[in-house]
């Protein structure tokens, strides 16, 4: 009994050599020496200056961090050998820089900061995916920290210069699944159309150019610019707004199609009819 209690006290005051983490719902298993590889970082302070019982845990006893679980894998890769390696097309650079700033990894945040040349233009060291996602204004200075750099890459791609390869020809398909009600008095019907979500299909670079930061990329984060995707959708549900954005950059509608079904709200044929439909609009831009 005495030996068991002594062992338990050591476990409560010392971290194990192999540490299990739950970062935003993603589970990671790594060595303790990896987490403390950078002195004075947040993880270094957590796992050297505090005890296991002082840190938050999930229901299975894993140490819990309420951060982006997807991006933490790059943080962990950096801690293993202090080298930054990212995919060829990585659209989450500014978010990863924010994570580096949170974990107090100053060197990592510095490497993620876009380099500016003497004429205030973006250095070629920035990956192609970053120029797809962001537009840097010439009056802005190089960033010194992740917090100050967020504003640098926040500008929408919709304002990119046409000379920056943004006038490529191609097709974009906009689709939506919606419903509308036709009542006995259609003129007073207030539920004419309800659009649940607007989807965007086409080449990634074209979709980003047209819709900029209104494009929700969370369902397809690593898609290269020259690949096609059908997993994007817009952060708003106004078709006319999507059409305006396409028109502003030279697209015009070439085709559309729609299917629909009808149902009654009740068994009474005199009641309102509810129509549900799926519609696609094909837009084209030629050079």
Quickly tell me which residue has 């439909």 as its tokens: 277
- The per-residue pLDDT for 189 is 47
Q: Reduce the DSSP state of residue 15 to 3 states and report it.
A: coil
Is 175 inside any structural domain? yes
Is 148 inside any structural domain? no
Which residues are paired to 65 by β-bridges? 23
Distance from C-alpha of 51 to C-alpha of 111, rounded to nearest angstrom: 31
Q: How many CA atoms, within 13 angstroms, populate the side-chain half-sphere of residue 126?
A: 24
Is 149 inside any structural domain? no
- The per-residue pLDDT for 29 is 94
**Domain shared by 264 and 175, yes or no:** yes
Domain, as residue range, for 51: 18-112
**Domain shared by 174 and 278, yes or no:** yes
Domain count, the chain: 2
DSSP state of 123: P
Is 122 inside any structural domain? no
- The per-residue pLDDT for 97 is 93
**Domain shared by 97 and 179, yes or no:** no
Is 165 inside any structural domain? no
- The per-residue pLDDT for 281 is 92
Q: Reduce the DSSP state of residue 169 to 3 states and report it.
A: coil
Residue that terminates a domain, selected from 62, 79, 112: 112
- The per-residue pLDDT for 117 is 43
Is 161 inside any structural domain? no
Lookup: tokens for 111? 């490497």
Q: How far is CA 68 from the centre of its chain?
A: 10
**Domain shared by 107 and 176, yes or no:** no
Is 160 inside any structural domain? no
User: For every one of its 287 residues, what pLDDT tens digit does the chain have, with 9 covering 90 and above?
Assistant: 444 454 444 456 789 999 999 999 999 999 999 999 999 999 999 999 999 999 999 999 999 999 999 899 999 999 999 998 888 777 788 999 999 999 999 999 999 987 544 444 444 344 444 443 443 344 444 454 444 444 444 443 334 444 444 468 899 999 988 776 665 554 444 455 667 789 999 988 888 889 988 888 766 666 677 788 888 889 888 888 999 999 999 999 999 998 877 765 566 656 666 777 888 999 999 87
Longest dimension (CA), the chain: 83
Identify the CA nearest to 168 among candidates 157, 155, 152, 156: 157
Q: Reduce the DSSP state of residue 10 to 3 states and report it.
A: helix
- The per-residue pLDDT for 90 is 79
CB 28 within 8 A of CB 17: no
Q: Reduce the DSSP state of residue 13 to 3 states and report it.
A: helix
């Amino acid at each position: 009994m005495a030996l068991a209690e002594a062992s338990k006290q050591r476990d409560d005051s010392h971290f194990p050599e192999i540490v299990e983490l739950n970062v935003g719902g993603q589970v990671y298993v790594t060595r303790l020496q990896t987490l403390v590889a950078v002195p004075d970082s947040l993880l270094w302070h957590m796992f050297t200056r505090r005890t296991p019982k002082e840190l938050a845990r999930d229901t299975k006893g894993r140490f819990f961090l309420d951060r982006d679980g997807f991006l933490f894998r790059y943080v962990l890769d950096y801690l293993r050998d202090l080298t930054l390696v990212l995919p060829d097309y990585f659209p989450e650079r500014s978010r990863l820089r924010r994570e580096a700033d949170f974990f107090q990894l100053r060197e990592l945040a510095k490497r993620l900061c876009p380099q500016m040349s003497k004429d205030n233009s973006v250095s070629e060291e920035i990956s192609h995916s970053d120029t797809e996602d962001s537009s840097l204004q010439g009056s802005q200075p190089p960033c010194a920290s992740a917090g100050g750099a967020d504003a640098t890459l926040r500008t929408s791609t919709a304002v990119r210069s046409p000379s920056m390869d943004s006038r490529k020809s191609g097709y974009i398909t906009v689709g939506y699944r919606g419903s509308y009600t036709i009542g006995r008095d259609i003129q007073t019907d207030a539920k004419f159309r309800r659009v649940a979500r607007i989807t965007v299909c086409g080449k990634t670079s074209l979709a980003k150019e047209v819709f900029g930061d209104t494009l929700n990329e969370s369902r397809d984060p690593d898609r290269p610019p020259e690949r096609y995707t059908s997993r994007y959708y817009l952060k708003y549900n106004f078709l006319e707004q999507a059409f305006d954005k396409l028109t502003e950059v030279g697209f015009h509608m070439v085709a559309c199609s729609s299917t629909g079904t009808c149902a009654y709200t009740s068994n009474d044929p005199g009641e309102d009819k509810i129509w549900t439909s799926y519609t696609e609009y094909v837009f084209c831009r030629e050079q």
